Structure 1
Amino acid sequence: MKFVVNKEWLFEQLNNQQVKIVDCRFDLGNPDFGEKRYQESHIPGAYYFHLEKQLSGPVVEHGGRHPLPEMEKFKQDLEKVGIDHSKTVIAYDGGEGQFASRFWWLLTYLGHDNVYVLNGGFRGWVQAGFPTTKEIPEHEHAYFKVNIRKEILATYNEVKEIVTDGKKSSVLIDSRDPARYVGDIEPIDKIPGHIPGAINKFWENGLEKGFFKSKEEQKKRFAEIDQDKPIIVYCGSGVTATPNYIALKMAGYKNVKLYAGSYSDWVSYEGNPVEKGNENAK
């Protein structure tokens, strides 16, 4: 199964009504950045989806810094741009990979099969000299039938049980920068460190210059992890873990879940244990 498409393929599909394009550009430090860039220039036919307005729900006490959106609202947002199960959907961001991957995971969670990330993102598209536009496409209407895939979402209680019982049958993967994993720095969340027992696989190591590495290279990244073990990936808030989710699937792992609330959800509960340090930081 493919998870990404190249820019050459997408260029050939620009007039294909069965292909929908979604612009997910975003800057965590400047929430208006992506939408402004979209209004200035985007891939022809692309619709904009905002990380915090459409790909996340309101922040509350628990659920993390980017909780999952309310699924009925997200469904309606998809329908407004003509996305239904007959459409092939291509998501892109600036070339970082995590924002398009978040959209990919959400659409997959809702039961859609034909969704892909544009390798190289908008940066790769522009560098190749492919066309851009300021023209914003008109809204369409479609009916999207939701078929939630609960098997790809890990709940807080599931993670809590793994930590409390010390289960070795499941693998927790922390996707953050190694310095945050070991607890040397923590610029956002209130407690530095990681969920006890988690190993570190920095999500950026699965990409090179905005392009997902090959299936063989992803297999090497996760070589020490048993293919038959259940895996739960997390990050700070459920965004940068999604490229690791895709990378694991590329490498052939079948039983992979996203802990959407991630570390920011874990530390929102008083008394939850946190580990610092670890030779498993990579």
Structure 2
Amino acid sequence: MMFVKDREWLFNNLYDSNIIIVDCRFSLADPQKGKKEYLESHITGACYFDLEKDLSAPVMEHGGRHPMPNLEELIGKLESASINECKTVIAYDDGEGAYAARFWWLLKYLGHKNVFVLNGGYKQWLEAGYPVTADIPALEPVKFHVELNPGVLATTKEVEEVVQYRPKDCILIDSREEKRYLGLEEPIDKKAGHIPGALNKPWMDGLHSNQYKTVEEQKQRFSNIDVKSKIIVYCGSGVTAAPNFLALKEAGYEKVKLYVGSFSDWISYAGNNIE
């Protein structure tokens, strides 16, 4: 797999100074939990990035529940964590895949070429009996030369145009579970339903037992979508759409964008319809 590394690979390269490991564990139900767990134990050498404090901007009227972070601030934090374009970066969460994929996607947006998600996350690392510690690493600050990659980011305006004109070569994918997509249940956002015309491909179908499915299995998941299509993925707040973005790239789809604001941004505009 191109964007996912297995735990054996990381274990064999654990003390390579060109590899930076990033702990992205987080709980939407308890925002302090991830950092607390990191301080208790983490993969040896890992630093911590928080979904809401580091990988998102504060919530405003528009932009969704996990808005795009301020890029200057994010780059500063990456540089402090010894991350630049020369380092290989491995991000992990507890194994659910979404938080590490958010970090992975942000680095892809900044033009980083060698960033990966750890398959199985911390849960399977522990199960394998691999080294963990409570020690916080001392990381040497570096300079990150960013080459922004705007081709992976979909704006609200782009999504509005897809909804209005319904181009045949552009597909919207809703990554939430089916009952939220259908509007039968909405535990978080103020409105229920989905962006008009979107297909439903629940993000969790791309993983099995905390592991990303194989490339062949991902191709099978998306087999009803032409590989040449332009695709915009979204979810509730742009976080759980990131695993679908990664899975689509693994399956060979090249024209994939993430709508960071997602459904929570879409419904913040009074004029936007929902199905």
Q: 1:109: which partner in 2?
A: 109
Q: 2:207: which partner in 1?
A: 207
Instruction: State how far apart, in whole Å, the 2-side matches of 1:60 and 1:144 are.
Output: 28
Deviation at 1:84, TM superposition (A): 1.0
Q: 1:75: which partner in 2?
A: 75
Match of 1:220, SS?
A: helix
Q: Aligned letter for 1:43?
A: I
Q: 2:249: which partner in 1?
A: 249
1:61-210 matches, cutoff 5 A: 61-210=61-210
1:58-117: CA deviation from partner (whole Å, max 9, x where unpaired):
111000000010101000000001111110000000010000000000001000000000
Instruction: State how far apart, in whole Å, the 2-side matches of 1:172 and 1:51 are.
Output: 25
Q: Aligned letter for 2:191?
A: I
Q: Percent identity?
A: 57
Deviation at 1:167, TM superposition (A): 2.5
Q: Give RMSD over aligned pairs.
A: 0.7
1:20-99 matches, cutoff 5 A: 20-99=20-99
Deviation at 1:138, TM superposition (A): 1.3
Deviation at 1:133, TM superposition (A): 0.2
Match of 1:55, SS?
A: coil
Q: 2:9: which partner in 1?
A: 9
1:258-269 matches, cutoff 5 A: 258-269=258-269
Deviation at 1:25, TM superposition (A): 0.1
Instruction: State how far apart, in whole Å, the 1-side matches of 2:126 and 2:193 are.
Output: 38
Q: Aligned letter for 2:92?
A: Y
2:85–2:146 Cα contact (<8 Å) kept:
no
5+ long unaligned stretches in structure 2: none
Instruction: State how far apart, in whole Å, the 1-side matches of 2:166 and 2:257 are.
Output: 18
Q: 1:229: which partner in 2?
A: 229
1:196-220: CA deviation from partner (whole Å, max 9, x where unpaired):
0000000000000111000000000
Instruction: State how far apart, in whole Å, the 1-side matches of 2:259 and 2:232 are.
Output: 6
Instruction: State how far apart, in whole Å, the 2-side matches of 1:218 and 1:234 are.
Output: 17
Match of 1:116, SS?
A: strand
Q: Aligned letter for 1:89?
A: V
Name whichever of 23-32 and 137-146 sits farther off.
137-146
Q: Aligned letter for 2:124?
A: G
Deviation at 1:14, TM superposition (A): 1.4
2:91–2:117 Cα contact (<8 Å) kept:
yes
Deviation at 1:169, TM superposition (A): 2.3
Deviation at 1:168, TM superposition (A): 2.6
Q: Aligned letter for 2:169?
A: S
Runs of at least 4 residues off by over 4 Å: none
Match of 1:154, SS?
A: coil
Deviation at 1:15, TM superposition (A): 1.1
Instruction: State how far apart, in whole Å, the 2-side matches of 1:169 and 1:229 are.
Output: 5
1:148-207: CA deviation from partner (whole Å, max 9, x where unpaired):
101110000000011112323210000001000000000111100000000000000000
2:175–2:234 Cα contact (<8 Å) kept:
yes
Instruction: State how far apart, in whole Å, the 1-side matches of 2:52 and 2:109 are.
Output: 18
Instruction: State how far apart, in whole Å, the 1-side matches of 2:210 and 2:272 are.
Output: 35
Instruction: State how far apart, in whole Å, the 1-side matches of 2:173 and 2:266 are.
Output: 14
Instruction: State how far apart, in whole Å, the 1-side matches of 2:251 and 2:8 are.
Output: 24
Q: Aligned letter for 2:129?
A: G
1:41-73: CA deviation from partner (whole Å, max 9, x where unpaired):
000000000000000011110000000101010
* Equivalent pairs, count: 275
Instruction: State how far apart, in whole Å, the 1-side matches of 2:166 and 2:125 are.
Output: 46
Instruction: State how far apart, in whole Å, the 1-side matches of 2:114 and 2:226 are.
Output: 28
